[in-house]
Amino acid sequence: MGTWQIRHLSLQRRFFLLSFSIVLVFSVAVAVTLFVAQRNKLELTLENKGKAFASYISSVCTDALILKDTLQLDALVSEVHDDEIIYTIIEDADGNPQTTPFASLNRSHPQVKNILKKLPSDVSVSTVVDRLKKDGDVIELLQRIKVDSSTQGAVRIGLSRLNVHAQLVRQTEIILVGMLFMSLTFAIVLNVVANRLVLRPVSELARVADELAAGNMAARVTCSSVGEIDTVCRSFNMMAERLESDIAELKRAEASVRFAQESQEAILNSMPDLMFRTDREGVIKEYHTSEQNLLYLPPEQFLGKRVSEIMPEEPAGIVMASLAEAEKHGSHRGAVYCLTMPQGEMWFELSVTAMGTPCTGFILLVRDITARRRLEAEQQQLEKQLLHSQKLESLGVLAGGIAHDFNNILMAIMGNAELALMRINKESPAIGNLQNIEQASARAADLAAQMLAYSGKGKFVIEAVDLNRLLQEMLHMLNVSISKKALLNFHLADTLPCIEADATQIRQVIMNLIINASEALGDNSGAITVQTGSMICDRGYLKNVWPNEELPEGLYVFFEIADTGCGMDKETVGRLFDPFFTTKFTGRGLGMAAVLGIVRGHKGAIVVYSEPEKGTTIRVLIPASKLQAASEKPSIPEEAAWEGAGKALLVDDEEVVLDIGTEMLRELGFATVTARDGREALEVYRTTPGIRFVILDLTMPHMSGDQCLAELKKIDPEVKVVISSGFSEIEVKQKFAGSEPAGFIQKPYRLSALREVLKTVSPGT
């Protein structure tokens, strides 16, 4: 029975178990003593029997042993076998058996049978005897055979204990049953007597005590006994009556106290998370809180101390000023202070009420507003990011549209200037003016390219780029571009994944950032550090990058440019990527806005770290690629002058583009037909035979370039179409999934660029 079960038994049953156990243990001890004595007696009887047999044989076998008469010796030992003698062996003076195994062993005995089954048939008697001794339950006796004080041999007899054991078991069973019956009878008698005199009154006392403890104050002891037990029962009843009267009075007092406590508890639970009571000097006398983790210190460290002694200077000043204000006006609301807690920075809102007139102390109600402030801060940040993203998107759309139209105008200016230079007399004084027009147009084209880069749709030639190799190739150019007082340090990663990027655009970004870092140093000496590496960017990290777009998590390659210059404040960093924003005396284009546009076009991001007088670090992140960087291509020797022949269809909604494009195509040897939109282009292509290729604008009214290309493919699957656009080639190719054009040329283009594209599209002409 388990401990728990015994512990919950009644006193009567425990007494019965105890008395029964004691008597039973005593009975078992007596039984064990009798068992040992009986066993010794039976074994002694067995040994005496064996000694008698041994003496008899030793007295009658002397002559046969001296004469070595084996037959007579076998006959002698065969006569003495019975159920308790399992072997009888006559040995000579040297210990050698003189009787045969057949005669020496009692083969009908169970022990001998079991041994012989396990041994060979020709086994010696010594081996059998050794096995019998090893298995146990054998008593061996040795009787020396002497003639005139000289030993002639010995008689060895083996006695089995099996009969002794059987008798012991039978006798032990009888003894145990008798002892058990006696124990049970004695325990019952003892229990009946004890129960009547002691146990029943004690149990009654326990029952009444349990009822009193359960709230039944009318319970009394009804059982009677003799002597001291009866006195205890009467005294217990008197004590219960007195206790009933006291408890009734106590309940009435408790009801009043409970009502007051419940009222106070309700008031405290309706308050904010923390309540403190202080005296006029700001010494904390009492506190109440439902959240212990909101306490700045353990209670034993702030009870009895002034607020200014336990809190940092700034929040303590706010609290003490609130106490002074409450003493003057009766209350004070809305004070906010911050504390650095183990769980981080936490914000609290304080309300103070003065107690008494005149003031004797204060009640301070403190509410945790950390979550509210964080939510407000996150909301402000999200609104700021959304506003900035909308601004960038709007400016990007505006910049892209302006650049697209600007490119059409520039194409007419640049194309006419180029054609004029080709056709004018080399000695004409107008050549200088035309060259100035070309140079100004080129600068305007660069500005349009920056505007397209800002919109994220600039001219990109995407390939696998090894950023380390690109930086090493730029090393000399970077050194000559920075201040003489600046020290340029490279820390390039040992292994770096490639990126899919336009190497020219990435060079432009690096050069822009390096020059900005150099100018941040000014006339002071300093260092510019360029570092590369790769990192896994999760959602938490990508929330604080430029632009604030949903970039995918994953592996990014970065290059980081850090300087020890003047740095920037938060306001300047916030405007860093605004178009035409600059901290220089004179601006030079879109600046960092164009850098951001290029990075956006590569699906990347920028991270800016800067503090005034501590320098600036700008990290550019670009998604890693599984492609391998291509080795440098050998230079191809320039071919001989190329000239085309046949008809070309030029499609554009701008008249100036049609005019200059027609002039360029005529200069290259092509006859040109034109169309002003996609629908007109389809009609012209159907009705005009011999058109070798089509130069198709991407953005047109009525029917866009991608729609027109799909329809031209239906008319002639072998049609050769060159797409012309101010957007990048990669941006254009995304619109032609499944029906890619034969070539691409970006506006504004020169005659030489047009020649190279047409040589690829229509070779051999």
Number of H helices, E strands in the chain: 25, 20
Contact 291, 273 (CB under 8 A): yes
User: Coil, strand or helix: which one is 158?
Assistant: strand
pLDDT of 511 higher than 80: yes
d(CA 522, CA 49): 127
Look at the chain and count its residues. Answer: 765
Q: What is the pLDDT of residue 267?
A: 66
- The residue type found at 24 is L
pLDDT in tens, 234-285: 777 777 778 778 888 888 888 888 887 777 676 666 665 678 888 888 888 8
377-407 residue pLDDT tens: 777 776 766 666 666 566 656 666 666 677 7
pLDDT band at 536 (very low <50, low <70, confident <90, very high): very high
User: Can you give the C-alpha Rg of the chain in angstroms?
Assistant: 57
Quick one: average pLDDT of 421-434? 75
Is 363:523 a contact under the CB 8 Å cutoff?
no
Q: Strands across the sheet with 671-675, in order?
A: 671-675, 647-651, 691-697, 721-725, 743-746
- pTM exceeds 0.85: no
Higher pLDDT, residue 310 or 726: 310
User: If DSSP codes are grouped into helix, strand and coil, which group holds residue 387?
Assistant: helix
Query: Which tens digit of pLDDT belongs to each residue from 177-223?
Result: 877 787 778 777 777 776 666 666 777 777 777 777 777 777 777 76
Backbone phi, psi, residue 347, to 5° = -115, 140
Q: Is 562 helix (H, G, I), strand (E, B) or coil?
A: strand
Q: Which of 205-219, 307-321, 468-482 has the lowest mean pLDDT?
A: 205-219
DSSP element (H, E) containing 629: none
Whole-angstrom distance, CA of residue 164 vs CA of residue 137? 10
The residues, ordered by sequence, that sit 6+ positions from 157 with a Cβ below 8 Å of its Cβ are: 50, 53, 54, 80, 85, 87, 88, 89, 140, 141, 142, 143
DSSP helix/strand/coil, 239: helix
pLDDT category at 587 given cuts 50, 70, 90 is very low
Rounded CA-CA distance 709/537 in Å is 40
Torsion over CA: 52, 54, 55, 56 (sign): positive
Query: Does 332 or 765 have the greater pLDDT score?
Result: 332
Q: What phi and psi values does residue 561 have, to the nearest 5 degrees?
A: -120, 115
